[in-house]
Every structure is written in C-alpha cells, then in structure tokens.
Amino acid sequence: MDLADKLMNVIVITISLLALFFLHQYRFLNSLISTVRTLFKENLTGKVVLITGASSGIGEHLAYEYARRGARLALVARRNQRLQEVADDINFWGSVYSSYFAQQHLKKSKGKIIVISSCAGWVFAPRTAFYNASKAALISFYETLRIEFGTQIGVTIVTPGFIDTEMTEGKFLSKEGRLEVDREMRDVQVSLMPVESVEKCAKAIVESARRGDRYLTVPSWMETTILWKVFCPEIMDGWNRFMILGPGSSYRDSPSKKILDVVNEIKQLLLP
C-alpha cells in the first residue's frame, strides 16, 4: 500500500504540473468555444423556464429577463409576498426537490437547470457558516448531477459575488434563528467591496445559459478567489478572519468596519 501511495503521489503531481503548464492553452480554447456559442445562442421563444426563488432578488430579475425573451415561466417561491428569508435547510433542499420532480420533463425537452449558488461556496466569510455550507452543497450536488445527466440536461452553475439584493442590505440570522436586518453587520461583511446591480447579474445569467456555459461568476473578477483558495488557503482564511472578525470582541471593532467608517467621514468632509 505504501508503494502504491508513493506511486500515486508521483503520478498525480506530474499530471497536475502538466495540467498547469497547459492551462493557458486550455483557457484560450474555452474562450474560442464561448465565442462560437455566443453567435449561436439558444432561442428562448416559447421555452418553459422554471425559476425557484422568484419573488425577489436575482430570481425576480431572472423572471423579467426570460419574459422579455418570450419564454413561458413557471415561478416558485417560499413566501407569497417576499422570498429571501435565509432559512438555509430550505436553501438546499428546495432546489433538490425542484430538480427531482422536474428532471423527467427536462430530459424530454433537453432542458437546462440554472443553479444560483454563490462565491460563498468557496470564500468562507465568518458569521455566515450555514449560508456558506448551503451554497457549497448546491455546487457539489449539481456538479454530480451534471455528470449523471450527461448531455440530457444542461447545468449552468452561477456563483454571484456581492449583488444588490436583500442579502447585501443587511439581512442575517440572529443567534436565536430569527431573520433580522443589521446594517452594521452589513457594513462589516461588504465594507468597500463593489456591489453589482441585480439587473446586470440577471442579464449575464440568461446570456450564459443561452451559450450553454457550465459556470458563471458575477462579477467575473471574483473568479480569481478560486486561485487564492486553491494555492494560498491560509492567506485567504487569515485575511477574512482579520478583516471581518478583527482583534476585538465586537464586529464593530473589525478593520473592514473601521475602514468603511473612515471613508464615510472623508466623504462627508469632501461632500458636505
């Protein structure tokens, strides 16, 4: 067994180094394929689109984008008036059950599943453990389904960063499990990070699905965090802990909150 392990180490490391060497060529080829797909995007007129979480945020604006392109919509939400309660057991299983009951119909029509996960599936910010876990579970689940479905059903996994939805307005689960709005906590988590508009995000998702992309990260620069997670995980974890938790006992003492406060004070001085 020891000999087999040593042999596998040599083989895997060698293959990995070769893969990294040809990474640029591979990404160039993918770019060419993506360009071709852009020229032959899917016609959505009359297509049936199932959207879960459709009463607010990204789901709501996805419905608008698909409707503009002539699609026939089936909309699902957990609440009649508003969605976006961060009840993460539901966050995962709601998508699982929807996919389970829809798969037979999707196979008949060569349909597609658009998965709204998050960069939180690999960028693990403190104080959002259950949310992060649910998004990582979504990625893992649909990565597996993609392999099982093969060419029968297309799967596009979307991993948004900071998008202008209720999540970035300060909605969090309290220690008691209640959904609360905490603007100061929002300032800690988001701080000076640029926030993408939900309309722009929805348009990018629809176009990506029409091209048949396997993945989409919005904004695109967030893709670089995957490299930091893979090659320098200690740096990423340490940075998130320092910026969001900080040395103090309260999140109000975190560096990200202090930086935002200083910037706001400067703005007030310059723009009275």
pLDDT in tens, 181-198: 666 666 667 666 778 888
Selection from 257, 237, 253 nearest residue 189 by Cα = 257
Q: Which helix (H) or strand (E) holds 198?
A: helix 198-211
Distance CA 91, CA 210 (A): 25
The whole-number pLDDT of residue 181 equals 66
In the chain the domains, ranked by start, together with CATH numbers, are 41-234 (3.40.50.720)
The whole-number pLDDT of residue 82 equals 44
Task: Please name the amino acid found at residue 256.
Answer: S
Q: Is 173 helix (H, G, I), strand (E, B) or coil?
A: strand
pLDDT in tens, 8-55: 777 767 877 777 777 777 777 777 877 777 777 788 887 777 776 666
Selection from 203, 174, 202, 169 nearest residue 187 by Cα = 169
The whole-number pLDDT of residue 240 equals 82
Distance CA 251, CA 193 (A): 17
pLDDT beneath 50, residues of the chain: 81-88
CA torsion angle 224 149 116 214 (round to 10): 30
Task: Name the phi and psi angles at 48, rounded to 5.
Answer: -90, 125
66 is a catalytic site residue: no
What lies within 8 Å, CB to CB, of 168 at 6+ separation is: 162, 186, 190, 195
Catalytic residue among 131, 142, 215, 251: 131
Selection from 165, 160, 200, 202 nearest residue 186 by Cα = 165
Q: 235-241 long-range CB contacts below 8 Å, 24 or more apart? A: 236/123, 237/124, 240/123, 240/124, 240/125, 240/126, 241/126
Q: Which two tokens stand for residue 167?
A: 């999540």
Output the pTM of the full model: 0.72
What is the dihedral sign for C-alpha 152, 34, 134, 53? negative
Distance CA 203, CA 137 (A): 25
The whole-number pLDDT of residue 140 equals 94
Q: Which helix (H) or strand (E) holds 15?
A: helix 2-21
Q: Which two tokens stand for residue 115?
A: 């998965």
Q: Kindly calculate the radius of gyration of the chain based on its CA atoms and give it in whole angstroms.
A: 21
- CA distances 97 to 62, 89, 93, 101, 206, Å, are 20, 12, 6, 6, 23
